[in-house]
């Protein structure tokens, strides 16, 4: 039996298999409002056979957007635009639905990737960014304002309000984005956090604000909704955030009631040197899983069915998440199930696509035609 296609529970949320669709920014929103593209894109992925779909990073405030085209959930209007998309996916697919709540911090106010992704200066239509410290992401970029106590409270409350809207939408899980050089990660890393107050300096202090945000979000939604965190396990820069600190942070999150940890890496500095290759981040996930016991999602150049099977069978991660591979092949879970001799969910409208050599791929099916 394929381990990849066995059920698994992340806290209160049971997954049909161990395949997740990682959050992928689409840069296709209008002032944060979901568009027709989101209906098509998310609806398409909802039919993939994966167990859980993470909606893209959704900004908790306007200044928290990476780009002007980012999806947002900082108002009831934003939630209302997502409601019919969520309802359509619920009608046609059993996939679990999660949202990644995000604030870009000093990496906000950027062009969309296909326009170069560079920082947009305030004089060129960008906006004032905020961060733990007044340090830009790269030389020549907008210098962020260091958040004071009032600003920290405002950010925390924005995460809470976004979490409450996410619950009202009927989503199954929330993932807080504390990876890839965005605001919560900026507090964790000594490369971006040079504060001298209770939120800077020692590891305990640098973890304080992300843990405060997590605790506030966890308290704002019922225990039937899973809440987890995505982290960068290392900055890939000497003197930065690393796996030792990530283990400690993950242990603190586990003690605070986190239902899962999603382990990525990098993003804090242009000086990073990442040894990219198949499964290059899985070792970090394996160590965090071993030292916390928390349900762990592994990610990073997972493209092949047997590769994913080996990761979960060895216990390196409980769930594997795919992003680019899923965009390239939105039926990746179907093809993986076929290769591994497993079964996967497919909508009845597509049952006729089942190849003759895989008669049980979609489970018990009945087809008749006149």
Beta-strand relationship, 130-131 and 96-102: unpaired
b or e along 100-122 (b: 16 or more beta carbons within 10 Å of the residue's beta carbon)? bbbbbbbbbbbbbeeeeeebbee
The rounded distance, in Å, linking the Cα atoms of 207 and 231 is 12
Question: Distance (Å, rounded) from C-alpha 256 to C-alpha 213?
Answer: 11
The C-alpha atoms of residue 115 and residue 76 are separated, in whole angstroms, by: 30
Tokens 């047997």 belong to 306
- Residue 358 annotated as catalytic: no
Nearest-CA neighbor of 297 among 24, 51, 46?
Answer: 51
| Three-class DSSP category at 74 | coil
* DSSP tag of 124: G
Dist. CA 36–CA 251, nearest whole Å = 40
Of the candidates 27, 182, 280, 358, the residue annotated as catalytic is 182
Active site residues: 182
């Amino acid at each position: 039996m394929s381990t990849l296609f066995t059920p698994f529970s992340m806290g209160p949320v049971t997954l049909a298999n161990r395949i997740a669709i990682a959050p992928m920014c689409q840069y296709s929103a209008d002032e944060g409002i979901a568009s027709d593209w989101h209906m098509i894109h998310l609806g398409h992925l909802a039919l993939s056979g994966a167990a859980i779909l993470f909606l893209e990073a959704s900004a908790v405030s306007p200044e928290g957007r990476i780009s002007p085209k980012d999806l947002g959930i900082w108002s009831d209007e934003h939630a209302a635009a997502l409601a019919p998309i969520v309802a359509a996916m619920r009608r046609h697919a059993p996939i679990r639905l999660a949202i990644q709540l995000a604030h870009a911090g000093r990496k906000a106010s950027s062009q969309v990737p296909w326009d170069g992704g560079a920082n947009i200066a305030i004089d060129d239509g960008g906006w004032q960014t905020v961060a733990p410290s007044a340090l830009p992401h790269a030389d020549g970029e907008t210098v962020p304002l260091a958040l004071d106590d009032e600003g920290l409270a405002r950010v925390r409350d924005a995460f809470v309000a976004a979490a409450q809207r996410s619950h009202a939408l009927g989503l199954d899980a929330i993932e807080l984005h504390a990876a890839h050089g965005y605001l919560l990660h900026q507090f964790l890393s000594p490369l971006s956090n040079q504060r001298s107050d209770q939120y800077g300096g020692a590891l305990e202090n640098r973890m304080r604000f992300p843990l405060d945000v997590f605790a506030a979000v966890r308290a704002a939604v019922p225990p039937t909704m899973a809440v987890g965190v995505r982290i960068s396990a290392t900055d890939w820069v000497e003197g930065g955030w690393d796996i030792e600190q990530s283990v400690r942070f993950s242990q603190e999150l586990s003690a605070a009631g986190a239902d899962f940890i999603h382990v990525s890496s990098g993003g804090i500095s242009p000086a990073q040197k990442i040894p990219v290759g198949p499964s290059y981040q899985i070792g970090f996930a394996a160590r965090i899983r071993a030292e916390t016991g928390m349900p762990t999602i592994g990610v990073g150049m997972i493209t092949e069915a047997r590769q994913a099977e080996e990761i979960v069978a060895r216990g390196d991660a409980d769930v594997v998440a795919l992003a680019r591979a899923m965009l390239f092949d939105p039926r990746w879970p179907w093809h993986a199930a076929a290769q591994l001799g497993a079964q996967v969910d497919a909508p009845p409208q597509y049952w006729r696509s089942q190849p003759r050599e895989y008669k049980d791929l979609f489970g018990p099916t009945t087809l008749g035609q006149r």
